[in-house]
Amino acid sequence: MIILHSDTNHPTLIKQLQDAGHQNIEGFTQSREETLENQHLYDGIVIRSRYTIDKEFIDAAPNLKFIARVGAGLENIDVEYAEAHGITLFSAPEGNRNAVGEHTLGMLLSLFNRLNKADREVRDGLWHREENRGLELDGKTVGIVGYGNMGKAFAKKLRGFEVDVICYDIKEGVGDENARQVSLEEFREKCDVVSLHTPWTPQTDQMVNKEFIDAYKNPFWFINTARGKNVVTADLVDALKDGRVLGAGLDVLEYEKASFESLFSNKKNVSLSIENQIPDAMRELMFLNNVILSPHVAGWTKESHERLASVIAGKIIDKFGRGEEK
């Protein structure tokens, strides 16, 4: 098969496909328009997040047999339209779930121990010990919303702590030895920590809003390493300010670009970008001491970089076999 690679990935991806006899075209610098012009030439396309695969794109690719996204989700692909045209879709949540689990745990421990706040203060010559007294995770109830690859990976990381781990998922029977599946009512009643691990779908879009937060019996800590558009930032900021949410670790943000690559369009002057382009809720969020932010890197480790590529290559080869050796 002739396979177009629209984004750079770990070299093992191209190597494994090449070793299997497939032809790889490196289209890393091609624009979406340039790719569309030649899309009829390709049997498969490997993407990350540089552009979307929509109806127009699929209609221009009559020979397309598969679309592979080197990542966990397929939100930049018109999944229904692709499947209706017999196109196989691949993603690789197995490739970065361990990285996401570790990042989620790291954010939670940093919040509980005020590590980011304390670090900034010491660098500024402040020695505030009582103000930075932390909390212990032991004895808490950690709730996981969405118990798929990422949720399960986080639960596994919690096994060394004396915590009660519960999960809520729209699918039944997903609980395991690391997390007990409970009803939504029990979940809202017991959680000290809520960690979000859901995809971005019409059902989860803006799911974490004022109504979601107010439904919990007690104030809770919130972690989101899933998708930013699942959260209404303005409602979260209000809850952080009035104590309904005790603190938040956010690897993803509502205002991210569709490509996930940048929040700030003016990279040379971030302060100007914030002032002119970032909504008020985001600006407030950035200056709250009980918030930790990272730039959508929870699944972005050196190990996951290679693992994601290897998983995708394996799925393509398993499905379509080996090409003719050149």
Q: Is 319 helix (H, G, I), strand (E, B) or coil?
A: helix
User: Is the per-residue pLDDT at 326 higher than 60?
Assistant: no
So what's the pLDDT on residue 276? 56
Q: Are residues 172 and 309 in the same domain?
A: no
So what's the pLDDT on residue 260? 60
131 is catalytic: no
Count of CB atoms situated within 10 Å of the CB of 183: 10
296 is catalytic: yes
Q: Are residues 216 and 111 in the same domain?
A: yes
What mean pLDDT comes out for the span 276-286? 86
pLDDT digits (tens, 9 = 90+) for 43-64: 999 999 888 899 999 999 999 9
So what's the pLDDT on residue 264? 67
Q: Are residues 121 and 56 in the same domain?
A: no
So what's the pLDDT on residue 7? 93
Strand ranges (E), 71-119: 88-90
Q: Is residue 125 part of a domain?
A: yes
Containing structural domain, residue 17: 2-91+303-320
User: Is the per-residue pLDDT at 321 higher than 50?
Assistant: yes
Count of CB atoms situated within 10 Å of the CB of 76: 20
So what's the pLDDT on residue 75? 87
Of 155, 146, 145, the residue nearest 177 (C-alpha) = 155
Q: Are residues 190 and 245 in the same domain?
A: yes
So what's the pLDDT on residue 301? 97
Q: Round to whole Å and give the CA distance between 114 and 292.
A: 10
pLDDT digits (tens, 9 = 90+) for 3-15: 999 999 999 999 9
Q: Are residues 216 and 287 in the same domain?
A: yes
What mean pLDDT comes out for the span 235-254? 98
Instruction: Give 62's DSSP letter.
Output: T
So what's the pLDDT on residue 51? 85
Q: Is residue 325 part of a domain?
A: no
User: Is the per-residue pLDDT at 266 higher than 70?
Assistant: no
Q: Is residue 34 part of a domain?
A: yes
> What is the length of the chain?
326
Strand ranges (E), the chain: 2-5, 23-26, 44-47, 66-69, 88-90, 141-145, 164-168, 180-181, 193-196, 220-224, 245-250, 291-293
Percent pLDDT > 90 in the chain is 84
Q: Which residue among the candidates 5, 114, 197, 296 is catalytic per the annotation?
A: 296
Residues 70 and 312: beta-carbon distance below 8 Å: yes
75 is catalytic: no
User: Is the per-residue pLDDT at 144 higher than 60?
Assistant: yes
User: Is the per-residue pLDDT at 178 higher than 80?
Assistant: yes
Q: Are residues 137 and 164 in the same domain?
A: yes
So what's the pLDDT on residue 174? 97
Number of domains the chain is built from: 2
Q: Are residues 34 and 135 in the same domain?
A: no
Strand partners, 249: 223, 292
185-215 burial, b at 16+ Cβ within 10 Å, e below that, comes to eebbebbbbbbbbbbbeeebeebbbeebbee
| Distances, alpha carbon 140 to alpha carbons 66, 110, 161, 166, 187, in Å | 44, 15, 10, 11, 13
User: Is the per-residue pLDDT at 323 higher than 80?
Assistant: no
Q: Are residues 153 and 43 in the same domain?
A: no
Q: Are residues 177 and 71 in the same domain?
A: no
Instruction: Give the CATH number, domain containing residue 311.
Output: 3.40.50.720
So what's the pLDDT on residue 262? 64
Q: Is residue 11 part of a domain?
A: yes
Which range (1-5, 183-187, 228-232, 320-324) has the least confidence?
320-324
Q: Is residue 154 part of a domain?
A: yes
Q: Round to whole Å and give the CA distance between 7 and 27.
A: 7
Q: Are residues 181 and 266 in the same domain?
A: yes
Q: Which residue among the candidates 75, 186, 189, 256 is catalytic per the annotation?
A: 256
- Provide the token pair at 300: 């972005």
User: Is the per-residue pLDDT at 271 higher than 70?
Assistant: no
So what's the pLDDT on residue 325? 43
Alpha-carbon dihedral 3, 4, 6, 9, rounded to 10 degrees: 40
Q: Round to whole Å and give the CA distance between 61 and 146.
A: 34
Q: Which residue among the candidates 227, 244, 305, 307 is catalytic per the annotation?
A: 227
pTM of the model: 0.90
User: Is the per-residue pLDDT at 73 higher than 90?
Assistant: no
- Work out the mean pLDDT of the chain and round it to a whole number: 93
Q: Is residue 326 part of a domain?
A: no
Residues 210 and 232: beta-carbon distance below 8 Å: yes
So what's the pLDDT on residue 246? 98
Q: Are residues 45 and 130 in the same domain?
A: no
pLDDT digits (tens, 9 = 90+) for 219-235: 999 999 999 999 999 99
Q: Round to whole Å and give the CA distance between 225 and 295.
A: 10
Q: Are residues 178 and 212 in the same domain?
A: yes
Q: Is residue 246 part of a domain?
A: yes
Q: Is residue 162 part of a domain?
A: yes
Q: Round to whole Å and give the CA distance between 252 and 260.
A: 9
How many secondary structure helices (H) and strands (E) does the chain include? Answer: 13, 12
